[in-house]
Amino acid sequence: MQTLNPLIIAQQAQDAHDRTLALIQGLNVEQMMGPMLATVNPLLWEIGHAAYFYECWVLRYHLQQGAIRDDSDSLYDSITIAHDDRWDLPLPTLPETQNYMQTVLDNIKVCLSAGDDAKRDYLAQYAVFHQDMHNEAYTYTRQTLNYPMPYAAKPEAQINNAGGLIGDVRIPGGVFVLGATLQDGFVFDNEKWAHEVEIKPFTIAKAAISNADYLKFVEADGYHQKEYWDDDGWLWLQAAHLDHPIYWRKCKKDWEIKQFDQWNPMSMNAAIIHVCWFEAQAYCRWAGRRLPTEVEWEVAASAQASPDGKTLSSTKRHFPWGNESPRADQANLDGFALGTVDVGAYATGDSAFGCRQMIGNVWEWTQDTFGPYPGFEADMYQDYSQPLFGITKVLRGGSWATRARMIRNTWRTYYGPERNDVFAGFRTCSLAE
């Protein structure tokens, strides 16, 4: 396994902390609690929980330090505190919570400066990525709860007028090594370990579905045609009472899309976002297409063809464009673009097969139900993956709000098929081969 650098992890921890503060800036006491919804946490609880994760695993579990707050286990342990109970806890005030967060951060930075300790570094890196994931959750929580646009976002990162990208690429079959290896550095338990799979040739879209693409389905009355929805999807749709994606509306002759608390003209070439797995599947049935499997998705993102183009080579990329960390011109990441950009943007980030934006812009739904790889063993945080096996769907690639430092081709995330509040879209595959 690649050696983690504790000084870089300390910088990342500070950066994640600063991003958290930016994402809650401007919110009042009531907004920091918010209504009880199944899809969000009270922000006042969640920011304390993210700090507690560092304290619990790095400072207390590994370094055997005493608790910073005597009540932290009863306040912030997500394993023992049920979701709906988090609104009724005797939570500290926001200033008290921020003091706790700062104390934890200060202690983490001190311990990371104290010599070599591989397990400490692993746990601290885990905690940074855990906070990064919560920071993305704070971002979609602001959208869900109709809060103003976060100050963490910077519109100068927006790429305008890149246009659409149509067409498919055909990818040869062969043997593919799915998942992460020891050489990939830090990875989560659900990425372990790389194993060979046989993949048949398939044809996949160069780009994710755009708003314009999806609008054709909406205007074809797709939300009222039961033939496009499976039984569970139709039941979800009837309960959701939707005629189109949740953050769309028709305004006179034009369509608008909601970004946080503002309605803006819809960018037709931007990637569709805030659609659930059921909606993605219904679109595919209407279009005579299908979602890729997660194996197909990872092949399209990371594999290369053999010299004769007839099979897959043994070379696998860490990112679609190669093995170098994402640059700003390769992917829409880090939360600065405020939303999705045109599906034709970021040509420099193409995969070897010519698939665009497989990292960033939108998380992409796949066909598959989330499950373990062969020989799966849970990491120290045993509730990260296994409680969601069999009941959630796999998404790949990251979104515009995902941190560049954490995403890679082998990353797997997972949500229930009904979740249309997260930053998810999709691309499609041809049915014919």
Any alpha helices (H) in 155-204, and if so which ranges? none
Cα(261)–Cα(147) distance, integer angstroms: 6
> Parallel, antiparallel, or unpaired: how do β-strands 289-290 and 303-305 relate?
unpaired
Architecture of domain 6-144: Up-down Bundle (1.20)
| Predicted local confidence at residue 163, as pLDDT | 83
The angle formed by the CA atoms of residues 291, 296 and 301, to the nearest 5 degrees, is: 110
Cα(167)–Cα(30) distance, integer angstroms: 48
Per DSSP, the chain holds a count of helices (H) and strands (E) of: 10, 15
Cα(370)–Cα(294) distance, integer angstroms: 9
- Do the two domains 6-144 and 155-209+288-430 of this chain adopt the same fold? no
| 87, 33 contact by CB (below 8 A) | yes
Give the residue from 350, 431, 430, 360 showing the smallest Cα distance to 167.
Answer: 430
| Predicted local confidence at residue 432, as pLDDT | 81
| Predicted local confidence at residue 2, as pLDDT | 58
Q: Which 3 state secondary structure label does DSSP give 308?
A: coil
Cβ neighbours, 10 Å, residue 309? 9
Q: How far from 252 is each of 101, 167, 256, CA to CA, in Å? A: 48, 32, 10
| 346, 331 contact by CB (below 8 A) | yes
The tokens for 24 are: 């809650």
| Predicted local confidence at residue 336, as pLDDT | 87
Domain ranges of the chain: 6-144, 155-209+288-430
Report the 3 state secondary structure along 395-427.
EECCCCCCCCCCCCCCCCEEECCCCCCCCEECC
Please provide residue 134's backbone torsions phi and psi, each rounded to the nearest 5 degrees. Answer: -70, -35
> Parallel, antiparallel, or unpaired: how do β-strands 262-265 and 413-415 relate?
unpaired
| Predicted local confidence at residue 1, as pLDDT | 39
The angle formed by the CA atoms of residues 214, 217 and 219, to the nearest 5 degrees, is: 110
| Predicted TM-score of the model (pTM) | 0.96
Cβ neighbours, 10 Å, residue 92? 17
Cα(215)–Cα(231) distance, integer angstroms: 23
Radius of gyration of the CA atoms of the chain, in A: 22
In the CATH scheme, what is the homologous superfamily, with its name and number, of domain 155-209+288-430? Answer: paralog of FGE (formylglycine-generating enzyme) (3.90.1580.10)
| Predicted local confidence at residue 360, as pLDDT | 97
Question: Which distant-in-sequence residues (6+ apart) come within 8 Å of 34 by Cβ?
Answer: 40, 42, 43, 141, 145
Tell me which DSSP letter residue 244 carries: S
| Predicted local confidence at residue 155, as pLDDT | 52
Half-sphere exposure of 84 (CA within 13 A, CB side): 1
Give the residue from 227, 289, 282, 230 showing the smallest Cα distance to 427.
Answer: 289
Give the residue from 423, 413, 358, 362 showing the smallest Cα distance to 388.
Answer: 413
Residue type, 325: S
Residue type, 165: L
pLDDT in tens, the chain (433 residues): 357 999 999 999 999 999 999 999 999 999 999 999 999 999 999 999 999 999 999 999 999 999 999 999 999 999 999 999 999 999 999 999 999 999 999 999 999 999 999 999 999 999 999 999 999 999 999 999 999 999 765 555 556 678 889 999 999 999 999 999 999 989 999 999 999 999 999 999 999 999 999 999 999 999 999 999 999 999 999 999 999 999 999 998 899 999 999 999 999 999 999 999 999 999 999 999 999 999 999 999 999 999 999 999 999 999 999 999 999 999 999 998 889 999 999 999 999 999 999 999 999 999 999 999 999 999 989 999 999 999 999 999 999 999 999 999 999 999 999 999 999 999 999 998 7
